């Protein structure tokens, strides 16, 4: 099999063959540990609750959100479910007081709002995959919730 020069079948050097195998093994390890799979490994689809939050939304927008309304991501038109809960409270705005210290205070004509929608999606590690897009806690999204359009942050994503 090996000739006098250390080549397999007189054509391939054993050292070269070994180098190719080592390089292929390194590429395989890097591929499977870093780039070959998504960092979010979604399982099967299941009912997911997504909670959106805005600390100071105009009252007329907050009051326009109704239970059962369709929720759509305005940017990429992804279906984010239907509204199952709306909690409207006192707005929270941070403004400096007379001493320059940031203090929380309500803002007239505004309310804080939590909007919860239910959708079927693939969930993993505080994020849900919908329509090829990942929506995670802290994400800022512009949504349509029925006839109301607003920018909110995702404050919770959980399996129902």
Per-residue pLDDT at 20: 73
What is the number of alpha carbons within 13 Å of residue 124 lying toward its C-beta?
Answer: 13
d(CA 35, CA 37): 6
Token pair for 51: 């909670």
Residue with tokens 């100071």: 56
In this prediction, residue 3 has a pLDDT band, given cuts at 50, 70 and 90, of low
For 84-128, the pLDDT digits (tens) are 999 999 988 777 778 888 877 778 899 999 999 999 999 877 799
Name the pairing type of β-strands 93-96 and 140-145: unpaired
Percentage of the chain lying above the pLDDT 90 cut: 51
Which position has the higher pLDDT, 39 or 82? 82
């Amino acid at each position: 099999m090996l000739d006098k020069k250390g080549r397999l079948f007189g054509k391939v050097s054993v050292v070269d063959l070994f180098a190719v195998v080592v390089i292929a093994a390194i590429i395989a390890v890097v591929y499977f540990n870093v780039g070959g799979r998504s960092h979010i490994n979604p399982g099967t689809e299941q009912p997911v609750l997504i909670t959106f939050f805005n600390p100071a939304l105009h009252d007329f927008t907050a009051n326009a959100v109704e239970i059962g309304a369709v929720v759509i991501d305005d940017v990429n038109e992804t279906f984010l479910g239907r509204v199952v809960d709306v909690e409207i409270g006192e707005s929270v705005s941070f403004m400096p007081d007379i001493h320059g210290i940031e203090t929380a205070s309500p803002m007239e004509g505004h309310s804080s709002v939590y909007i919860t929608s239910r959708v079927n999606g693939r969930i993993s590690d505080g994020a849900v995959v919908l329509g090829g897009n990942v929506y995670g806690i802290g994400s800022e999204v512009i949504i349509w919730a029925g006839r109301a359009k607003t920018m909110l942050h995702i404050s919770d994503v959980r399996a129902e």
